[in-house]
Amino acid sequence: MANLDIRIREADVADLELIVDFISQKSEFDGSKNLLAATADKLQQTLFFQPPLVRVLLAEVAEKAVGFALFYSSYSSLLTQPCLWLDDLFVQAPMRGMGVGTALLKYLAQIAESTNCGRMEWTVNTANAPGIAFYEKQGARILENIRVCRIDGNAINLLAGK
- Measured between alpha carbons, how far is residue 121 from residues 7, 21, 59, 79, 97 in Å? 23, 24, 20, 14, 21
User: 135 catalytic, yes or no?
Assistant: yes
Q: Write down the catalytic residue from 72, 75, 107, 135.
A: 135
Could you give phi then psi for residue 147, rounded to 5 degrees? -120, 145
- Measured between alpha carbons, how far is residue 122 from residues 45, 64, 118, 149 in Å? 23, 26, 14, 13
How far is it, in rounded angstroms, from Cα 109 to Cα 76? Answer: 17
CB atoms within 10 A of CB 145: 4
How far is it, in rounded angstroms, from Cα 26 to Cα 88? Answer: 8
Contact (Cβ atoms closer than 8 angstroms) between residue 66 and residue 60: yes
Give the active site residues. Answer: 135
